[in-house]
Amino acid sequence: MILEYKINHTDWPYLMPMVQASLNHTAVPSLDNKAPVKLFTGLPCPTPLREFYLPDEREGRGGAAGGAGSRQDRRVLADLRASIHDMHRAVQDKRLSKDKVALRTKKL
């Protein structure tokens, strides 16, 4: 990008929003080929970087077919929530067990 658009290499902070938008709007296999923005917000997902490459095109901005909130999307989102809850529970359990060991050691 730097060479093609003749951008100075010190201007990378200005490119970060574009890179972040690309990551948030790109479907990934670990999310059942859905984009993070669609799963976490339920909003339709436009083509990544559409504003940068097709700024004048106004048709077809509705995003992917199937619509937000389909049964499969809700299932994937519920699975993600459960997974996050399980991860938090595991971390909390580990922290509690460390605290118990520390209390036992302190009492001795």
Domain ranges of the chain: 2-107
Q: What is the pLDDT of residue 96?
A: 92
Cβ burial 52-89 (10 Å sphere, 16+ → b, else e): eeeeeeeeeeebbeeebeeeebeebbeebeeeeeeeee
Maximum pairwise Cα distance, the chain:
73
Q: Which position has the higher pLDDT, 28 or 56?
A: 28
pLDDT band at 61 (very low <50, low <70, confident <90, very high): very low
Q: What is the pLDDT of residue 51?
A: 56
Both tokens of residue 62?
A: 């509705």
Q: Around 72, how many Cα atoms within 13 Å sit in the side-chain half-sphere?
A: 7
In the predicted model, what is the mean pLDDT of residues 82-87? 84
